């Protein structure tokens, strides 16, 4: 894929850039795509929060990085790291 774009330096010159790259969809397996926690009480201090571990497996020949887009960064679990 080739993309032509420009970069304007504030109070300076404009540069034209031709970007060229290639990639492929990684072979990442996920242990499940949806989960129903069922009926859960509203969490209160001292209660164990409902949780479910998800397993990500890299079946690709190259290493990959996973960057989850948490809606609420404070809600991440400490054990969510791989």
pLDDT of res. 72 = 67
pLDDT of res. 27 = 92
| Residue 26 · residue 59 · CB < 8 Å | no
| Residue 6 · residue 17 · CB < 8 Å | yes
With bands split at pLDDT 50, 70 and 90, how would you rate the model's confidence at 78? Answer: very low
- Count the neighbouring beta carbons within 10 Å of the beta carbon of residue 60: 13
pTM of the shown model: 0.49
pLDDT in tens, 5-35: 999 999 999 999 999 998 888 899 999 988 8
**Mean pLDDT, to the nearest integer, of 53-78?**
78
pLDDT of res. 17 = 94
């Amino acid at each position: 894929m080739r993309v032509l774009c420009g970069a304007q330096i504030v109070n300076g010159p404009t540069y034209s850039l031709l970007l060229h790259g290639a990639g492929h969809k990684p072979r990442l397996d996920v242990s499940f795509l949806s989960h129903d926690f069922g009926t859960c009480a509203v969490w209160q201090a001292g209660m164990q929060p409902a949780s479910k571990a998800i397993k990500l497996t890299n079946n690709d020949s190259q290493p990959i990085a996973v960057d989850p887009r948490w809606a609420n960064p404070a809600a991440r679990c400490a054990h969510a790291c791989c």
